[in-house]
Amino acid sequence: MIAVTDLGSAVALAVASVAGVAYVSWRLRSWYPIALGVLTLGLVQLLVLGIKVTIGRERPNPPGQVVPETGFSFPSGHSTSSLVGFALLAWLVCMLTGNRTVWATAWLAAAAGAVLVGLSRIYLGVHYPSDVLGGWMLGLTWLAVVAVAVWVWRARTTSRNGNHRTRSTAQR
């Protein structure tokens, strides 16, 4: 479970996201994946920090706590970040291919990874279940905000440029 929880750590997600964003940006010859990465995973970190400080909920302290953690408990940063980070990686995969089977596999893997990381935080005794659920809800909400922002941006850019052709793989 420690290895699973480490998949949702800031270091692991940052390394995977930077590598994924860099590769997709290079492949597509576009800054779009970089902006997407900063907007999704970068800004959600600030949201988590702000909420943690505002709410100030203490962590559980069970006698058999496996991993010592400090800082506030709600929302679970690992749960939020893993959901958003794994979703970002799935989104990047979708930018590279039109294969729906690959898309489905990427999104299922992202969802499974986020669920496993969240459950590991409860199992290790460093979060209450409500911390993990709150983290997942924050992550889903943030992804919805980003998706709508991207959709609006694309719609405005397309109408401003008079470009009504079908979307390319780079724009997915």
Active site residue 127: yes
Instruction: Give the pLDDT confidence of 96-145 residue by residue, as tens digits.
Output: 998 999 999 999 999 999 999 999 999 988 899 999 999 999 999 999 99
Cα 172 from Cα 169, distance rounded (Å):
6
pLDDT of residue 155: 84
Whether the link from the prior residue into 63 is cis, omega within 30° of 0, is no
pLDDT of residue 164: 52
Q: What are phi and psi of 38, to 5 degrees?
A: -65, -45
Catalytic residue among 17, 91, 127, 131: 127
pLDDT of residue 114: 96
Within 8 A by CB and 6+ apart from 97, the residues are 103, 169
Active site residue 164: no
pLDDT of residue 162: 63
Catalytic residue among 52, 59, 78, 121: 78
pLDDT of residue 83: 96
State the average pLDDT for the chain. Answer: 88
pLDDT of residue 17: 93
User: pLDDT above 70 covers what percent of the chain?
Assistant: 91
Q: With 60 as the cut, is the pLDDT of residue 14 above it? A: yes
